[in-house]
Structure 1
Amino acid sequence: MALTLRLSEEDDRLLTELAAREHRSKNDVVLAAIRERAERTAKTERTRAAFARIEARDADALDLLSQ
């Protein structure tokens, strides 16, 4: 699927420099950024869900420890 990405001159300069530094195409750099953001978001959601489970399961113990 094709996508047009509108960038400011500054963002395009940054993308160009990053692509050159990594010896990758601008397209590859953008795709990597999207995938990294999606993975980071999913990890954050999993972490929050795990903490909520622990907090619910161990509420009494956590309350005692906070005193």
Structure 2
Amino acid sequence: MNLRLRDDQTEALKQRAEQEGTSLHAIVLRAVDDYLARTAQQAIVRRTAKEQAAKWGELMERLK
């Protein structure tokens, strides 16, 4: 996999890596892990909301 960043992104990541004493590679891996965890949680919330809406939809309509 190749990742092409803008020059400003590359420079900002290099500075951050230096500040943290880590590599660009480690920062990118952490960003990918964070993204995957966040979107997985969002998917769970959406699925649960749909399930609950289906379960309680009729009651909610009557309570309007």
Give TM-score scaled by structure 2 length: 0.83
Q: In structure 1, what residue type is equivalent to 2:57?
A: A
Give TM-score scaled by structure 1 length: 0.80
Question: Residue 59 of structure 1 corresponds to which residue in structure 2?
Answer: 57
The Cα RMSD (Å) is 1.5
Question: Alignment length, in residue pairs?
Answer: 64
Percent identity of the aligned residues? 25
Distance 1:64 1:20, change over 3 A: farther
Instruction: Give the drift of 1:5.
Output: 2.4
Question: Residue 11 of structure 1 corresponds to which residue in structure 2?
Answer: 9
Structure 1: stretches of 5+ with no match in the other structure: none
Instruction: Give the drift of 1:20.
Output: 2.2
Structure 2: stretches of 5+ with no match in the other structure: none
